[in-house]
Amino acid sequence: MTFFPDHIYPDAGAYSADYFQRLAAAAATINAENLAAAGALLLATVDAGKRIYSCGNGGSAAIANHLVCDCLKGMRTDSTIRPKVHSFSTTVELITAIVNDIGSEEMFSFQLSSMAEEGDLLIAISSSGASPNIVKALELAHSMGVKTIAMTGFTGGTSRQIADVSLHVDCDNYGIVEDLHQSLMHILAQYCRHSRVDDPTKLGSLKF
C-alpha cells in the first residue's frame, strides 16, 4: 500500500485524476473468489428464509443502511426472492441508549444477541476492520452460528481474519475504501436480484 494523497494538488481536477487512478488500483485488489462466495452466501441466506443484518460506524454506517434499501427493495423488485434485511446502525434512539447505559463496544452485539438466529447472516463494514464494536459483533455471530461477511480496508484488522468471507480493499484512503465498499454492496445486491429475476428474457431491460 502507498499513502494517498502524498502531496498538495493545485486543484480538484488534478486531485481527481490521481483519486480515480488509485480507486481503480484498489478495486483490482478485491478477491474475486471471495466476492463469489459472498454472493453465494447472500443467496443461500435469502433462499433459506433467514435474515441479513448489517452494521458499520460513520461512513460505513451509511453503507450499512443503504444496503437495507438495495437488498430489501432492490433485490425484491421483479425477482422471485423476498429478502429480510435490517441494519443495526439505523436507530439512533436504541444505539445511544446502548452506548450510554452499557458501552460503545456493545452497540451492535447487543442488538445481534436479541435479534439474530442460527443461519442468519451479518455483514460488518469497517474501513479499519479494527473497530471494537464491529469485532465484538463478528465474534458473537460466530458463537451464535450466524454467518459473517466483513468489508474492510487498510490492513483489514481482526475483522478480516475472523469473518467467514472477507471482502478486503487494499488501500489506506478512507474515501476510496468506502467508495469500493459501496460498490461491493451494489454488486452483491444487483447480482442476487438478477440471478432471481421473474422473467430472464427481460433481464436487459430491468432497472435496479
CATH of domain 31-197: 3.40.50.10490
Average pLDDT over residues 127-141: 98
Provide the pLDDT for residue 206.
Answer: 63
20-37 tens-digit pLDDT: 999 999 999 999 999 999
pTM exceeds 0.85 for this model: yes
Q: State the Cα–Cα distance between residues 152 and 149, nearest whole angstrom.
A: 10
Q: Cβ of 100: how many Cβ atoms within 10 Å?
A: 9
Indicate whether 162 pLDDT > 90.
Answer: yes
Residue-averaged pLDDT of the chain: 95
CA 155 – CA 151 distance, rounded (Å): 12
Residues facing 25 on adjacent strands: none
Lowest mean pLDDT segment, chosen from 23-27, 92-96, 110-114, 198-202 = 198-202
Chain-centroid distance of CA 26 in Å reads 16
| pLDDT of amino acid 198 | 82
- The whole-number average pLDDT for the span 86-103 is 97
The per-residue pLDDT for 50 is 98
* Grid cell for residue 101: 447505559
Cβ neighbours for 62, distance < 8 A, ≥ 6 positions apart: 56
User: Residue 88: beta bridge partners?
Assistant: none
Q: Which residues contact 73 (CB under 8 A, 6 or more apart)?
A: none
pLDDT above 90 for 130:
yes
